[in-house]
Amino acid sequence: MSHVLEVLKKVYGYDQFRGQQQAIIEAVIAGEDTVTIMPTGGGKSLCYQLPALIRNGLGVVVSPLIALMQDQVDTLHQLGINAVFLNSTQSYREQQEIEHNLKSGHIKLLYIAPERLLMPQTIILLKSIEVALFAIDEAHCISQWGHDFRPVYQQLSILKDHFNNVPLLALTATADQQTKFEIKQKLKIPNAIEFLHSFDRSNIRYHIVESATKEALWGFIQSNHPTDAGVVYCLSKKSVEETALWLEQKGRTALAYHGGLNKDIRAKNQQRFLREDGIIIVATIAFGMGIDKPDVRFVAHMNLPKSIEAYYQETGRAGRDGQPANAWMSYKLQDLVQHKHMLEDSEGSSDFKQIGNQKLNALIDLCESSDCRRISLLSYFDEKLDQPCGNCDNCLNPPEQFDGTIPAQMAISVAYRTQQRFGTAYLIDILVGNMNERIKQNDHHMLPTHGVGKEITKKQWRSIFRQLIAKGLLELQGEYKTLRLTPACREVLQGKRQLQLNKVGKTPVKTPINEASSTKTPDAEKLFEELKKCRAQIAKDGEVPAYIICHNSTLTEIAEVKPTSLEKLYNIRGLGQSRIEKYGQELINVVLKFREDQTKEKNTLKQTNLETLELLKKGLAVENIAKERKLSLSTIQEHCALLIWHRLLNLQSVYDINNDEITEINQHLVAANFSTELRLKPVFEALNERYSYPILKCVAAHLYPCAQSQSE
Ligand code: ADP
Ligand code: ZN
- Mean pLDDT along residues 96-116: 94
CA distance 159 to 123: 9
CA distance 19 to 198: 9
What spacing in Å lies between the alpha carbon of 552 and ligand 1's midpoint? 13
Write down the domain spans for the chain. 2-196, 204-396, 401-502, 519-604, 605-712
Q: Flag the least confident range among 200-214, 364-378, 441-455, 596-610.
A: 596-610
Residue 553 in contact with ligand 1 by CB distance below 6 A: no
Cβ atoms of residues 674 and 707 within 8 Å: yes
Q: Which atom in ligand 1 lies closest to the alpha carbon of residue 47?
A: 6
Residue 289 pLDDT: 64
CA distance 108 to 82: 6
Tell me the backbone φ, ψ of residue 340, rounded to 5 degrees.
-65, -40
Paired strand residues for 280 = 230, 254
Per-residue pLDDT reduced to its tens digit, 139-157: 989 987 666 788 999 999 9
Residue 14 in contact with ligand 1 by CB distance below 6 A: yes
Fold agreement between 401-502 and 605-712: yes
Angle of CA points 153, 159, 160, to nearest 5° = 125
Residue 322 in contact with ligand 1 by CB distance below 6 A: yes
Tell me the backbone φ, ψ of residue 501, rounded to 5 degrees.
-120, 160
Q: Flag the least confident range among 123-127, 286-290, 541-545.
A: 286-290
Which residue, among 76, 72, 39, has the nearest Cα to 319 in the 3D structure? 39
Show the DSSP H helices in 30-119 as ranges: 44-54, 66-78, 92-104, 114-117
Residue 510 pLDDT: 44
Q: Which CATH class is domain 519-604?
A: mainly alpha
Percent of the chain as helix, strand, coil, to the nearest 5: 50, 10, 35
Per-residue pLDDT reduced to its tens digit, 152-177: 999 999 999 999 999 999 999 876 77
Give the confidence band of 347 by pLDDT, cuts at 50, 70, 90.
Answer: confident
Give the confidence band of 517 by pLDDT, cuts at 50, 70, 90.
Answer: very low
Q: Which atom in ligand 1 lies closest to the alpha carbon of residue 16?
A: 23
Give the confidence band of 566 by pLDDT, cuts at 50, 70, 90.
Answer: very high
Amino acid code (one letter) for 45: S
Q: Flag the least confident range among 84-93, 314-323, 342-351, 420-429.
A: 342-351
Residue 646 pLDDT: 82
398: left (phi over 0), alpha (psi -120 to 50) or beta: beta
Cβ atoms of residues 694 and 640 within 8 Å: yes
Residue 9 pLDDT: 95
Q: What is the CATH number of domain 2-196?
A: 3.40.50.300
Measured from the alpha carbon of residue 551, the closest ligand is 1
Protein fold of 605-712: Arc Repressor Mutant, subunit A (1.10.10)
- The DSSP call for residue 142 is G
CA distance 423 to 484: 9
User: Mutate which of 11, 16, 18, 572 to test ligand 1's pocket (most atoms within 8 Å of Cβ)?
Assistant: 18
Q: Is 680 helix (H, G, I), strand (E, B) or coil?
A: coil
Measured from the alpha carbon of residue 572, the closest ligand is 1
User: Has residue 103 got a pLDDT over 50?
Assistant: yes
What spacing in Å lies between the alpha carbon of 221 and ligand 1's midpoint? 26
Higher pLDDT, 177 or 182: 182
Per-residue pLDDT reduced to its tens digit, 440-484: 999 999 998 999 999 999 888 988 998 898 888 998 887 777 899
Residue 710 pLDDT: 40
CA distance 261 to 506: 39
Per-residue pLDDT reduced to its tens digit, 591-605: 999 999 888 877 777
Rounded alpha-carbon distances, angstroms, from residue 7 to 54, 242, 555: 9, 49, 22
In angstroms, the first-to-last Cα distance of the chain is 63
Per-residue pLDDT reduced to its tens digit, 122-139: 999 999 999 999 999 999
What spacing in Å lies between the alpha carbon of 401 and ligand 2's midpoint? 17
E strands, 189-337, where?
193-196, 204-210, 230-233, 254-257, 280-283, 298-301, 325-331
7: left (phi over 0), alpha (psi -120 to 50) or beta: alpha
What are the residues whose beta carbons fall under 8 Å from the beta carbon of 148, sequence distance 6 or more? 64, 138, 140, 141
Protein fold of 401-502: Arc Repressor Mutant, subunit A (1.10.10)
Percent of all residues in the chain with a pLDDT value above 90, rounded to a whole number = 52
Half-sphere exposure of 670 (CA within 13 A, CB side): 10
Paired strand residues for 169 = 34, 135
Neighbours of ion ligand 2 (CB under 5 A): 372, 374, 388-389, 392, 395
pLDDT, the chain, mean: 89
Cβ atoms of residues 340 and 360 within 8 Å: yes
Residue 132 pLDDT: 97
Residue 17 in contact with ligand 1 by CB distance below 6 A: yes
Per-residue pLDDT reduced to its tens digit, 231-242: 999 989 999 999
Give the confidence band of 707 by pLDDT, cuts at 50, 70, 90.
Answer: low
Residue 511 pLDDT: 46
Kindly list the strands in the beta sheet with 34-37, ordered across the sheet, starting from the edge strand earlier in the chain.
83-86, 109-112, 58-62, 131-136, 168-172, 34-37, 193-196
Residue 317 in contact with ligand 1 by CB distance below 6 A: no
Residue 519 pLDDT: 63
Cβ atoms of residues 495 and 410 within 8 Å: no
Higher pLDDT, 516 or 284: 284
Per-residue pLDDT reduced to its tens digit, 19-78: 899 999 999 999 999 999 998 888 999 999 999 999 999 999 999 888 788 889 999 999
User: Mutate which of 2, 4, 6, 12 to test ligand 1's pocket (most atoms within 8 Å of Cβ)?
Assistant: 12
Give the confidence band of 706 by pLDDT, cuts at 50, 70, 90.
Answer: low
Instruction: Please state the pTM of the whole predicted model.
Output: 0.75
Give the confidence band of 711 by pLDDT, cuts at 50, 70, 90.
Answer: very low
Cβ atoms of residues 654 and 685 within 8 Å: no
Per-residue pLDDT reduced to its tens digit, 632-680: 888 898 899 888 888 888 888 888 888 888 888 988 888 888 877 778 8
Rounded alpha-carbon distances, angstroms, from residue 542 to 302, 408, 533, 539, 548: 37, 63, 14, 5, 10
Q: Which atom in ligand 1 lies closest to the alpha carbon of residue 551?
A: 14
Under CATH, domain 204-396 is a member of which superfamily? P-loop containing nucleotide triphosphate hydrolases (3.40.50.300)
